[in-house]
Structure 1
Amino acid sequence: MQLYPIQAGHFKLDGGAMFGVVPKSLWQRTNPADSNNMIDIAARCLLVEDENRLILIDTGMGNKQSDKFFGYYHLWGDHTLGKSLAAHGFHRDDITDVFMTHLHFDHCGGSVQWNKDQTGYEPAFKNAHFWTNMDHWAWATNPNKREKASFLKENILPMEDSGQLKFTGLPDGHFLNNSELGFNIFFANGHTDKQMIPMIDYKGKTFCFMADLLPTAGHLSIPFVMGYDTRPLLTLDEKELFLKKAADDNLYLFLEHDAHNEIITVKHTEKGVRLNETFRCDDIF
């Protein structure tokens, strides 16, 4: 097995929305804001090469939305999913599986693209299965009013229309062991229903793709919960459960949205679970 970080782009989000009820005087210590209160955000995906499978975890925003849409998110930098794949010697057509932690636009938008004449949409990975779970699919295709702006039908329905959509099993509790993709999955319901956190064993370590359960290292404190979460009290419990396990088992946490910290480990302290070490992907993979 080999792991590759895939940079699908960078953008900015309102710091207050990213930290909910936490005062700016606290969260700006780890996530400094610009003059418009916006903080740096990454769309850092992960490619898993495992024998004859090439599994891409999340795909970023993609590029098919309007300039007005992208204007809300202040894109910066020159990373794209296609260029990042090519830098590691791969092409979209090589991907066998796309695993989506959840179907919010910044996690799955790159899974679907315009067709050649821009009259409709098609899968951006023509040889891949697209993986979600049945409960989250139902949640995303019949969205509540809170999340409707994050579940965009053009990002989601073409996967089903193409016949490439697949569903993982569902857990008894939070953990699903030995999923169809060959790794364990932690299911979390606080951010959105049945978000999936892959846990990948690699070279004697376990790497956890944290998605929106832990967006940045600045969110390590249990009460630091995003304003985007639909069930923040559930997030509190799920973060506490997962971070205690991460500290107990020395898990390596791969941060999808932290523009400045790529991989971290955590430790138990008198104040709870806190940052232990920070790593660059290139130093580990």
Structure 2
Amino acid sequence: MTLYPIEAGNFKLDGGAMFGVVPKSLWSRTNPADNNNLIDIGARCLLIEEGNQLTLIDNGLGDKQSDKFFSHYHRWGDFSIDSSLKKLGFHRDDITDVFLTHLHFDHCGGSIQWNKDRTGYEPAFKNAKFWTNKNHWDWAIKPNPREKASFLKENLLPMEESGQLHFLDRDKGSHFYKHLNFGVLFVDGHTEKQMIPHITYQDKTLVFMADLLPTVGHIPLPYVMGYDTRPLLTLGEKEAFLEKAADEGFYLFLEHDAHHEIITVKRTEKGVRLDQTYTFNQLFNS
């Protein structure tokens, strides 16, 4: 098995929304904001090559939305799914599986694209199975008012209509549980049944953090996003995970931190805190 980080494109979000009740004077120490109070956000995905299976975890915002839509997210940099795959000698048609941690637009928007004449939508990965879970799917297609702006029908319904949508069965195991090196933690604080992949690679446990831990700045327990639907539940889920990560030496792959790829954490008198930061190449290709 071989892993590759895939940069799907950077954007910006409001710092206050990203840190909820935490004052700017505190969160800006780790996540400095520009004059519009916007902070840098990444869309760092993960590609898993194992035999004939090529799995992409999440895929960023995509590019099918209107200029008005993207004006709210201030995309920056030159990263894209296609350019990242091309550097590795892959094409999106090579992808056999797309594993979606959850269905908010910044995690699954790249799943669907316009068709050639822009009269409708089609899967952007024509040979792939799209993986979510039934509980989260039902939550997403009938969204609550809080998350309605994050669950976009044009990202979701074409997956179902294509016949490429599949549900991971958390009780009976599934396609992804056939290998002991891939496990999934289900968490509910950010959204219903978000999936956090744990991958054993080169004798290390690499955890794809999605929105359980968006950036380095979110390590302290009260630093919870304003986007989370159940912030008190996030507190408990994050505390339990970070304590286990510190005790067992997990390597945390940060999807949304534009400036830090992988970190480890440690226990301190103030609680779990940052230990080390790594680039992917430092950790796995040195």
Instruction: Find out whether 1:87 has 2:87 as its counterpart.
Output: yes
Query: What is the letter of the counterpart of residue 204 of structure 1?
Result: D
Partner of 1:71: 71
Alignment partner, residue 2 of structure 1: 2
Matched letter for residue 219 of structure 1: H
Aligned to 1:131: 131
Residues 216 and 92 (structure 1 numbering): CA distance in 2 closer, same or farther, change over 3 Å?
same
Q: TM-score, normalised by structure 1?
A: 0.97
Q: Give the SS at the match of 2:260.
A: coil
Distance change in 2, residues 1:153/1:178 (3 Å): closer
Structure 2 counterpart of 1:244: 243
Contact 1:9 1:80 in 2 (8 A): yes
Superimposed CA distance per residue, residues 216-251 of structure 1 (whole angstroms, 9 cap, x where no aligned partner)? 000000110000000000000000011011001100
8 Å CA contact 2:197, 2:208 repeated in 1: yes
Question: Match of 2:270?
Answer: 271
- TM-aligned CA deviation for residue 177 of structure 1: 9.6
The separation in 2 between residues aligned to 1:118 and 1:271, in whole angstroms, is: 54
Report how far residue 118 of structure 1 moved. 0.4
> Which runs of structure 1 show a deviation greater than 2 angstroms over 4 or more consecutive aligned residues?
176-182
Return 5+ residue gaps in structure 2 as ranges. none
Q: Retained in 1: the 8 A contact 2:260–2:278?
A: yes
Partner amino acid for 2:15? G
Return the offset for 1:179.
3.8
Determine the structure 2 residue equivalent to 1:262.
261
Equivalent AA in structure 2 for residue 233 of structure 1: L
Give a deviation string over 1:69-98, Cα, whole Å, max 9, x none.
000000100111110011111000100000
Q: Deviations over 1:16-42 (max 9, x none)?
A: 000000000100000000011000000
Hey, what's the Cα distance between the residues in 1 that align with 2:2 and 2:22?
38
The 2-side partners of 1:106 and 1:17 are apart by 15
Alignment of 1:1-285 (within 5 A): 1-170=1-170, 179-180=176-177, 182=179, 183-285=182-284
What amino acid is aligned across from residue 122 of structure 1 in structure 2?
Answer: E
In 2, Cα distance between equivalents of 1:177 and 1:221? 34
Uncovered stretches (5+) of structure 1, i.e. residues with no partner: none
> Could you report, residue by residue, the CA deviation over 1:147-174 in whole angstroms, capped at 9, with x for unpaired residues?
00000000011111010011111259xx
TM superposition score normalised by structure 2: 0.96
Asked if the contact 1:177/1:184 (under 8 Å) is kept, the reply is no
Indicate conservation of the 8 Å contact 2:16/2:24, yes or no. yes
- Quickly say closer, same or farther: Cα 1:185–1:177, change in 2 above 3 A: farther
CA-CA distance at 1:178 after TM superposition: 8.6
Q: Secondary structure at the match of 1:22?
A: coil
Q: Equivalents in 2 of 1:180, 1:248: separation in Å?
A: 24
1:238 aligns to what SS in structure 2? helix
* Letter matched to residue 162 of structure 2: S
User: How big is the shift at 1:180?
Assistant: 3.9
**Aligned residue pairs: how many?**
282
CA contact (8 A) 2:131 2:167 kept: yes
CA contact (8 A) 2:168 2:175 kept: no
Kindly provide the amino acid, as one letter, of the partner of residue 264 in structure 1: I
